[in-house]
Each structure stands twice: as structure tokens, then as C-alpha cells.
Chains A and B, each alone.
Chain A
Amino acid sequence: MTHLDGNALAGLFADTLGIEITAAVGRCGSCHRNFELARAHAFVTAIGAVLRCAHCQDTLVVIVQKPHEVLVNLSGLAHLAMARP
């Protein structure tokens, strides 16, 4: 099984956070590179979704869907930047 990219998480982000993730630029908290989040590597399986930096492979975001809540861990992302609405 290979990875996808940030495009694959557009629905999850829109649903849980109301953000269009593919329009955002992020900064990796580990290697500090900036990149369009659509280019990050996404690993999406039934246990959870993991977004990783395409450069250093460190975890940027983890999303876990539990029966009654969704957990979103953004701690690997130093920041997100999006155009003003």
C-alpha cells in the first residue's frame, strides 16, 4: 500500500475543522520547510489518517475518528497559512 497526498484529506478537514486543507500552506514543525499541504504525504486507513512532511517524513497531522468524536492532532505542524476569505 502506498501513500496518497494532502488532497485525500480535504473532506476530513472540511468536515471536522471547516478548513479547505488543499488551499493551505503549512510549515513542518520538524524540518521547518514550507509547502502546500496538498503535497504532503497522506496515509489513510481505517485506524486513522496521518499526514507527513514529504521532505523529512515527520508527522504533521493525525486524525482519528472515534464513534462520537474526531480527534485532530496538529502538533507536528508549526503553522498553517491560508488566503483570507
Chain B
Amino acid sequence: MAVISSGFGGRRGASDTRLPPGQTLVDDWPVLTAGLTPDIGAHEWTFTITTETGAQHRWDWNALQDVGVEDIVTDIHCVTHWSKLDMAWRGVSLDRLFENVETSYDYVMVRSHGGYTTNLPLEDLLEGQAWIATEAEGEPLTDEHGGPARLLVPHLYFWKSAKWVREIRMMPSDEPGFWEQNGYHLRGDPWREERYW
């Protein structure tokens, strides 16, 4: 039987009706990590979409900017219970990046510098639901938050928004990425509280 520490409440934030179940608001932006922070400069960064035929669609930093960077305002929800509302981001829509990609596969594995992976159904990346993000809160993405670019998929728990993104690889079935292999839900919808297996 645990000893109750009188007066201890933890650092839990406020609640809000716009929050999914089990989430609280925070003022800061916590950094969670599973490994060393990669040191990738924009000048050396590339992003690749690889299909089942081995075809590679690649963008370097300038090419990404040329596709068209848009402003996004969105809420983000971390599986560790914190959320931020109305966060300002800038990024390139995956719809634009997938325009000329031919694939019959329905799932993707997102791969990051440093080895992190996360899986998603392709349909969760399209229809205005996902971006390759380069700025957050008015500033270029810092190293610790995934700079120079990360995936942004705000309708799913934020572990799906892979930092230091470098490749999206098409796959025929939904195979688990890093956290999904270690107890976290394959899809991670915060509104259905899909946190764990």
C-alpha cells in the first residue's frame, strides 16, 4: 500500500474541454527522447519516399522549400499525457510530396536519423493531415525537437511525429516501429485513447 504524500500533486497541467481523454495542458514543450540527438544541418538533410519498386523520390532542403511551405495551427497530444493547443507550425504537406508517388501499398514506416522508426497507414498521412515540419512556434525547429525537419501528424499521439525524419518507406502491412514494438499502440488515436497494445 503506497504512502500518500500529503500535498503532492505532481506537475499536472490544467484540463480543457478541447483535450482528448487523459490529457492535460502544459505551458512548456517537454522533450522526450529515445537516443542521442542527431546533429544534422539543413544543408546536408534530405527526405526520401521509397516505394515497393525501389523508386526513390528525394528532396533536399531547397527542393522541399520549393514544394511550398504552409502555416499550420494545430493541437498536439503526447501519450505521456501532456497536450498543447493552437500550436503554430510551418511545413510542407505530405499530399504535395506524394503527388507523383505511385504505390499500391497502404502503410508506411517512417525512418529518422539516429534509427528511430514509427509506422502509419498511408491514409493518415494524406488529406491535409500531415506535414514535413521545419518550424514550430515561429522558430526553426531546434535539434532537440527534431530539427531541421520532423514529421507532423497531429491527429495521432505525438510519438508518430517522428523527429529528424529522413525517409518514408512504403510497406504492404502495418509493421510496428520502435515504440510500437515496445508496448505502444499500432495506430495511436488520442480520441480513442489508443496508448498501448
Contacts and interface: CB of A to CB of B under 8 A. Distances in A.
Q: Do chains A and B touch in the complex (CB under 8 A)?
A: yes
Contacts of B184: 64
B36 A57 contact: yes
Interface string A33-67: 00000000101011110101000011100101011
Contacts of B32: 45-47
B159 interface: yes
Q: Is the interface of A mostly helix, strand, loop or mixed?
A: strand
A1 to B, nearest CB: 5
B80 to A, nearest CB: 4
Interface residues of A, number: 19
Nearest to A46: B80
B182 A64 contact: yes
B196 A66 contact: yes
B79 interface: yes
B31 interface: yes
Q: A47, A62, A64: which has the most chain B beta carbons within 10 Å?
A: A47
A74 to B, nearest CB: 11
Contacts of B79: 47
- Of the four ranges (under 10, 10 to 19, 20 to 34, 35 or more), the interface on chain B belongs to 20 to 34
A48 B33 CA distance: 9
Contacts of A57: 35-36, 114-115
Given A46-B80, A47-B179, A66-B183, A41 B34 contact: no
Given A46-B80, A47-B80, A57-B115, A1 B183 contact: no
Interface string B106-125: 00000000110000000000
Interface in B29-67: 30-37
A62 B81 CA distance: 20
Contacts of B37: 1
B183 A43 contact: no
Interface of A: 1, 3, 41, 43, 45-48, 50, 52, 57-59, 62, 64, 66-67, 71, 73
